Amino acid sequence: MSSLAHSPVTWQDFLRLPERPETGQRYELHDGEVVVVPPARPLHIKLQKRIEQLLEALAGARGIVSIEFPYRPGLNLQFWFADVAYIPKADWDALPPDDYPVYAPPLIVEVLSPSSTPVKINRQRIVAMSAGTEEFWVVDPSERTVQVTSRNGVHTYSSGDAIPLPLFDETTLAVEQIFA
């Protein structure tokens, strides 16, 4: 039996990849491995949009809520897209127009889809939290739950629960609002 060893793709190598917007797919860089991400399905897009609208209303002028936010949590070997991200206004204003600085948003929300493996989601959570993300949410449409990882641990919220939002002046968000 033989195996082929592959060198990790560096950030500079990753930047040289061709863009393929006509396919609806995009590239991410996970620990030096180029990953092709398939296009989102309608339910996924609807949940992203719903979460974006709910968080925008809570954020007000404090920050920006964006879907499909590209972020680079490490100097090399990492480039991800957050399904939904919250970026404080000062951070948003400081983002360069033509570069991807090393940055991880304080809040990242991932909506599970058929291509979301537990290994991928867990790796993304570890990478983001290690880079400074304060909260990482995993929204499960089939279970209608939201798992929140923060510096205080992991908590799963379901119907009847309200998710505390320390990044939004300690307000809360009812789980039912996400799945309404």
pLDDT digits 0-9 by tens, 24-52:
678 999 999 999 888 889 999 999 999 99
Quote the DSSP letter at residue 102: B
| DSSP classification of residue 50 | H
Exposed/middle/buried for residue 86 (C-beta within 10 Å: 0-12, 13-18, 19+): buried
Residue 20 pLDDT class (50, 70, 90 cuts) = low
Average confidence score pLDDT of the chain: 92
- Rounded CA-CA distance 147/137 in Å is 5
Prediction pTM value: 0.93
Contact 79, 70 (CB under 8 A): yes
135-171 pLDDT, tens digit per residue, is 999 999 999 999 999 999 999 999 999 999 999 987 9
C-alpha torsion sign, points 139, 123, 93, 15: negative
Going along the chain from its start, the domains and CATH numbers come out as: 40-178 (3.90.1570.10)
Q: Which residues of 19-44 are buried (b: 16+ CB within 10 A; e: fewer)?
A: eeeeeeebbbbbebeeeebeebeeeb
Please tell me the predicted confidence (pLDDT) of residue 156. Answer: 98
Which of 84, 73, 131 has the alpha carbon at shortest distance from 111? 84
CB-count exposure of residue 61 (10 Å: 0-12, 13-18, 19+): exposed
Task: Render the burial of 146-157: b for 16+ CB within 10 Å, e for the rest.
Answer: bbbbbeeeeeeb
Number of alpha carbons in the 13 Å side-chain half-sphere of residue 88: 11
